Amino acid sequence: MTIYLKIPEGTPFPNITRKTEGVLQVDPDFVHLVAEASNIKPEQLDDDALSELLVNWYIERIKVGYPHSEIMDKIIAGAKNEKD
């Protein structure tokens, strides 16, 4: 079954903090907003899906002039290094 994740129009980029290396904390309200807009339960939104959604959304926001996030830039750089 394919699940299409949606971010409600006008949703601000969530507050993301790094708890420890490799562990991020995302505002739970954001997770609930995405789950509700996507017609799924929050627990169905796994870490991989949430990470992919955030990275893709962040990249698109940067393209249209939103400011960079140091944490998101580090996440993307780390992911690129893992692929290499």
Per-residue model confidence (pLDDT) at position 1: 67
Of the candidates 11, 39, 44, the residue with the CA atom closest to the CA atom of residue 27: 11
What are the extents of the domains in the chain? 45-84
Contacts of residue 75, Cβ cutoff 8 Å, sequence gap at least 6: 24, 51, 55
Q: Using one digit for the tens of pLDDT, what is the confidence trace for 12-50?
A: 999 888 777 667 889 999 999 999 999 999 999 888 888
pLDDT band at 65 (very low <50, low <70, confident <90, very high): very high
User: What token pair was written down for 25?
Assistant: 């904390």
